[in-house]
Amino acid sequence: MALSAEMTGPRYTKLVQTLSASVPFVGPEEQERSRGAPFLARLGANENVFGPSPKAIAAMQSEAGDIWKYGDPTSHDLRHALAAHLGVGIENIVVGEGIDALLGYLVRLLVEPGDMVVTSEGAYPTFNYHVAGFGGTLHKVPYAADREDLEALCAKAAQVRAKLVYLANPDNPMGTWHQGSKVAEMLDRLPKGCLLLLDEAYIEFAPDGTAPEINVEDPRVIRMRTFSKAYGMAGARVGYAFGAAELIASFDKIRNHFGMNRAAQAGALAALQDHDWLAQTQENVAIARQQITRIAHENGLHALPSATNFVAVDCGHDGDFARQVLHALVDKGVFVRMPFVAPQDRCIRVSCGRPEDLSVVAQHLPASLTDARRQQTARGKLT
């Protein structure tokens, strides 16, 4: 049937009409489709290739027969277990579809068009995506010595009277971290009415003292963690936030109450209780960080110290050179990523993997560096 010339499409909001359609990250599946072959090593998305606890897998499998049921909209059992794990009340915890969804809910709660929000230039872009989607005005400060600059974040927040400040500790994409005591001190330097959003996705890999000691009822901060990293359940999409009870209760005003997958809830509960598996994963990651560092050094590169399940490797030149290295690795079947913003984009970011994954990196990195140097020399950028 022919469409009438008088027909009109959806009437988008004025805000949506100003936005471009974008995906913060190009997934490895899309890259595999583009290159026409699977990756030999999948080390770009900071997934935990060591996998979830076998107890978590069994718990999810046991729920398969009941998958016709909706998941518990309150995540009651998981929240009780998390409350015991953290030493807080169940009223201090909300569970959501990964940190990404919780970021969106929090921004929706707080940010109206024109509200001021502060983050670091080059930090986790999904947060920026949500802020843009609700019309917030983003102010960014540069990293200092490859770490998020706590002083600059506080100063910018005070300058623009920000409603919300984003900080990842440990940081993505650099893997660096601040002592928890320094993070706690930030709260007294933020302007009145400003909330610190503390993203602790990688906290289980960090040294003791990285997590700050802050009263959970302190209204100036909310903390977010995930089952995607240390617990190896990125595909299940389970994250949680904890903070003051009043703020946590506000999520019930706008969250997707049936967004949590029933099997994922059961898997997360089992994973949280398998302390031995978590300890083994932490050991595997520590070994892999050492291996990535060794591979970097063998190729004349510098690996940044990391408190995460990835390592940022300084390629020794500018972002154009690092991008050539990355593209060469991808062409050879090694999926890695890199920071987006200079000067951090001089690095590539390699997720921790099994020995067989890292052997692929060790095999193909020398030739990838050679390819990058050849191309840069041809362009007159290297001598």
Tokens linked to 147: 């770490």
4-41: per-residue pLDDT in tens? 767 788 999 999 999 988 877 889 999 999 999 999 99
In this prediction, residues 306-329 reach a mean pLDDT of 97
Query: For the chain, what percent of residues have pLDDT higher than 90?
Result: 93
Helix axes 275-298, 262-273, angle to 10 degrees: 80
* CA–CA distance, 203 with 372 (Å, rounded to integer): 34
pLDDT, tens digit, 9 for 90 and up, residues 57-90: 999 999 999 999 999 999 999 999 999 999 999 9
Residue 4 is predicted with a pLDDT of 72
With CA atoms as reference, report the closest residue to 303 among 295, 294, 313. Answer: 313
3-state secondary structure of 242: strand
Confidence of residue 380 (pLDDT cuts 50, 70, 90): confident
∠235-202-60 over CA atoms, to 5°? 30
Q: What distance in Å separates the CA atoms of residue 204 and residue 240, rounded to the nearest whole number? A: 14
The strand pair at 137-141 and 93-96 is best described as unpaired
Domains in the chain (CATH in brackets) are 24-50+276-378 (3.90.1150.10), 54-273 (3.40.640.10)
1: pLDDT strictly greater than 70: no
Q: Are residues 113 and 92 in contact, defined by beta-carbon separation less than 8 angstroms?
A: no
> Residue 48: left if φ>0, alpha if ψ -120 to 50, beta else—which one?
beta
Q: What is the pLDDT of residues 174-211, one digit of tens each?
A: 999 999 999 999 999 999 999 999 999 999 999 999 99
**Residue from 305, 371, 298, 301 nearest 334 by CA:** 371
Average pLDDT of the chain is 96
Predicted local confidence at residue 28, as pLDDT: 94
Q: Is there a contact between 382 and 346 (Cβ–Cβ < 8 Å)?
A: no
Residue type, 362: A
pLDDT band for position 366 (cuts 50, 70, 90): very high
Please give the average per-residue pLDDT across 352-367, as a whole number. 98
Give 115-146 pLDDT, tens digit per residue.
Answer: 999 999 999 999 999 999 999 999 999 999 99
168: β partners: 199
How do residues 38-58 score in pLDDT, each as one tens digit? 999 999 999 999 999 999 999
> What is the average pLDDT across 239-268?
97
